[in-house]
Amino acid sequence: MIVAPLSGVIKNMEDVPDPTFAQKMMGDGMAIEPSEGKVVAPVAGEIVQIFPTKHAVGLRSESGIEVLIHIGLETVALDGEGFEAHVKQGDKVKAGDPLVTFDLEFIKEKAASHITPVVITNGDALEVFEKTEEENVTAGESPLFQAKMKSEQDSEKPGDKGAEDQQAERQQPQSSNQGGQYQDEAKEIVDAVGGLDNIMAATHCVTRLRFVLSDEEKVDEEKLKKMDLVKGQFAANGQYQVVIGQGTVDKVYKAMVKETGIEEASKEDVKAAGGRQQNALQRGVKVLADIFIPILPAIVTAGLLLGINNILVNPIFTDESIIEMFPSWSGIADMINIIANTAFTFLPALIGWSAVKRFGGNPLLGIVLGLIMVHPDLTPAGDFAQGKGETWNLFGFQVNQLSYQGQVLPVLVAGWVLARIQVWLEKRVMDSLQLLIVPPVALLVTGFLAFILIGPVTYTVGTWITDGVVWVFEVAPIIGGLLYGFLYAPLVITGMHHTFLAVDLQLIGSTGTTFLWPIVALSNVAQGAAVFAIMLAAKDEKVKGLAGTSGISAMLGITEPAMFGVNLQYKYPFYAAISGTAIAGAFITFQDVLASSIGIGGLPAPLSIQSGVWSFIIGIVIVLIIPFVVTYFIAKRKFR
C-alpha cells in the first residue's frame, strides 16, 4: 500500500493544469491539493532523487515501485526558495518519514499552482494498480494507491539495479551508446528541435528538457514522437518542453551539453529568454491573465450568487417572482444581493490588489488605490452623464469628482504607475525612512494622477471599447455571435481569451450586462459534449477514462483537460465543438441573451442569465447535440 504523502484534497490527474501530468506522460497517479506544507514518505524505500531546487522527490519502494512527488507546478522556477529538504539521495526512509517541508502560502502566491502530482513512473512494471476513492487524505495515514509489481519472470528484481538505471532501460531498452550514455539520443533531440542554431537557451527540470527556440516551426514533432526516450512534447510560455522522465532527464541534459556544446542556462535565464520570445501581444495577454486569474474566484462566486438572486427577484417560472409570491423572502434576496454585488461594487480594489502585485509593488497599496477610486464621496458615472457631478478646483484647473466603480482600465493603468513609483522610491530612500516616505508619496502622487489624467483618459478609452463591441453586436448580432462562438476555443489555446474577461467586466461595469459571457458558457458545454462522444465511441479504456473525467469538468466550466487531453489530440471533436458553439452563439445573440455577471460556465450558467433564459437553454441543447452527434459518428468510423 502507498499512503498519501501530503494532506489535502484529491484531484484526478487529468485535471492537473499541466500537459505533462494531465496527459500522463510521466505515468499514472493522483494529485493532491495540499492543506499544509509537509511531504512525507508514502512508502518504505530509498530516495533515488531529490532535485537541487527541492521541489520534487523521487523514491523507490522496497518492492521496486517508483514514485515521483512533484510539489506544485512550475515550482522549479523558484530555485529552492520556500522549500526545505530533510533527506538526500540514497537515504532509506520509512512510510511517514518527513521528506520536504515548504511554505504553502508562498507556493500559492509564486507558483503556477500548488496542486501536487504523485506519479507512479514505472506503471508498466505493475501487476496491480488501484487508486483511492477518498476525496480527502491525511499525510502518512490515508491510502492513496494499492500497487503490486509483476512477478520476477516478467520484471527484473528491483534490488538488482538502481532505480534510475531500471527506468533508463525501460525508456531506452537498447541504448546505442555503451561508452557514453544518451549521447546519440541527445544529438537526435537537438536535431529534432531545429538544430543548434535554433536553440537560444536550454535547461531542464525534474521531468523535462526546456528549450527557448528561435523558431518553433522548425521542430520535427514526428521525429520526437518516434524516440523511445521521449514521453511527450509541447510548447508553453515561450518554452518548448520535451518530457523525458525523472533521473534520465538529467543524464540526457548533461550528454546534450557535452556533445553539442550548448551552454548551460539557469531556470531564470530560460524563463527570461522565453518571455523575450513572446511578441508584444502575447506578453500583454500574459499580463492580463496574471492580473485577472487570481481575482476570478471572487468574480465567479459573485456571479453565482447574483444568479440565485435572479431566480428570487425575476419572474422566470411564472408571471410573478418568488419574492412577489412569498414576500417573506424579500429580506433574504436583499442580503444575497448585497453579498453578491460587493465584488463588482469594489472591483477596482480587487484589480488594484492583483495589478500592483503583478507589477512588483505592495498589493495592500493597490487595494487602497482601488478603494480611493470608488470612494462614496465621488459621483457615479451615470449621475455625471446627467450633469449632476461636482469638480475640484486645482489652481483654476477643474477635475471631475468621478467614481470609477465597475471600471477596469483606470485602475489597471493606475496600478502600474503606483508600482513603478514605489519601486523607484525604494531604490533611493534609506531603509529607516522607507515606511514614512515610500507608501505615502507613491499613493499621493498616483492618486492625483489617477483623478487628473489616468482616470479620464482610460475611462474614455474604455467607453470607446464598450461602445465598439456593443455596436458590432447590434448591427450584426448573428455574425458577431457566430464569429465569437467559433473563435473562443481557439483563443483559449493561445491564452488570448483572458483579454475578453476584461471586456466582459467593462461591459458589466458600463451597461450592467454582458452578451459575450453566455457564449463562453456554451463553448464549455460544447467541448464537454464532444469529449463525451469520444468516451462512448472509444475502445481504449484509458481514453474512455480521460474523456469521462474531463467531460465532467468541461460541463462545470473547466475545459482545458477536455480540450488539451482529448479533443485537440483527435482534432475533429474540437472542430465539432467550435462549430456547435458558433451556431448556438449566433442563435442566442440574435435572441438578445444577456448575463448579469460572469458566473460558473457550463451547465450551471443559466443561473447568471438575466434575460433570455429559455433562449439560452435552447442554446445549451444545440451545443449538446451538434458536437456530440458529429463527433460520435466520426469517432465510430475511426475507432473501428
Tens digits of residue pLDDT in 313-326: 877 667 777 888 88
What sign has the CA pseudo-torsion 301, 306, 307, 312?
positive
Q: How far apart are CA 26 and CA 623, in angstroms?
A: 34
Q: Is the pLDDT of residue 170 over 60?
A: no
Q: How far apart are CA 173 and CA 169, in angstroms?
A: 5
Q: How far is CA 321 from the centre of its chain?
A: 38
* CA atoms within 13 Å, Cβ hemisphere of 415: 29
Give the chain's length. Answer: 640
Measured in degrees and rounded to the nearest 5, phi and psi for residue 439 equal -60, -45
Q: How far apart are CA 592 and CA 273, in angstroms?
A: 46
C-alpha dihedral, 100 to 103 to 106 to 110, nearest 10°: 0
Residue type, 324: E
- Beta strands per DSSP E along 121-195: 126-131, 136-137, 143-149
Instruction: Please tell me the predicted confidence (pLDDT) of residue 166.
Output: 45
> Would you give the DSSP letter of residue 116?
E
Q: Give Rg (Cα) of the chain.
A: 27
Q: In what order do the strands lie in the sheet with 126-131?
A: 2-3, 143-149, 126-131
**pTM for the whole thing?**
0.56
Of 184 and 627, more confident: 627
Instruction: Please tell me the predicted confidence (pLDDT) of residue 269.
Output: 55
- In this prediction, residues 341-360 reach a mean pLDDT of 89
Query: Which uninterrupted H or E stretch holds 39?
Result: strand 38-40
Q: Is 331 helix (H, G, I), strand (E, B) or coil?
A: helix
Q: How far apart are CA 25 and CA 36, in angstroms?
A: 27
pLDDT tens for 504-519 read 887 887 788 889 989 9
State yes or no: is 205 an active-site residue.
yes
Catalytic residue among 205, 209, 230, 529: 205
Instruction: Please tell me the predicted confidence (pLDDT) of residue 499.
Output: 67
Instruction: Please tell me the predicted confidence (pLDDT) of residue 278.
Output: 60
Instruction: Please tell me the predicted confidence (pLDDT) of residue 71.
Output: 94
Contacts of residue 221, defined as CB under 8 A and 6 or more positions apart, other chains included, come to 192, 233
The label of the residue with cell 518548448 reads 240
Q: Is the pLDDT of residue 51 over 60?
A: yes
Greatest mean pLDDT among 157-171, 223-237, 341-355, 615-629: 615-629
Residue-averaged pLDDT of the chain: 84
CA angle 528, 531, 534 (to 5 degrees): 155
Residue type, 423: V
CA-nearest of 151, 142, 148 to 122 is 148
Q: Is the pLDDT of residue 31 over 80?
A: yes
CA angle 228, 157, 1 (to 5 degrees): 95
What percent of the chain is predicted at pLDDT more than 70? 89
Contact assessment for residue 351 and residue 364, using Cβ atoms and an 8 Å cutoff: no
Q: Which residues pair with 116 in a beta bridge?
A: 32
Residue type, 391: T
Instruction: Please tell me the predicted confidence (pLDDT) of residue 282.
Output: 64
Greatest mean pLDDT among 98-102, 119-123, 496-500: 98-102
Q: Is the pLDDT of residue 177 over 50?
A: no
Angle between helices 296-313 and 347-358 (to 10 degrees): 170
Question: How far is residue 129 from each of residues 44, 153, 166, measured CA to CA in Å?
Answer: 17, 19, 19
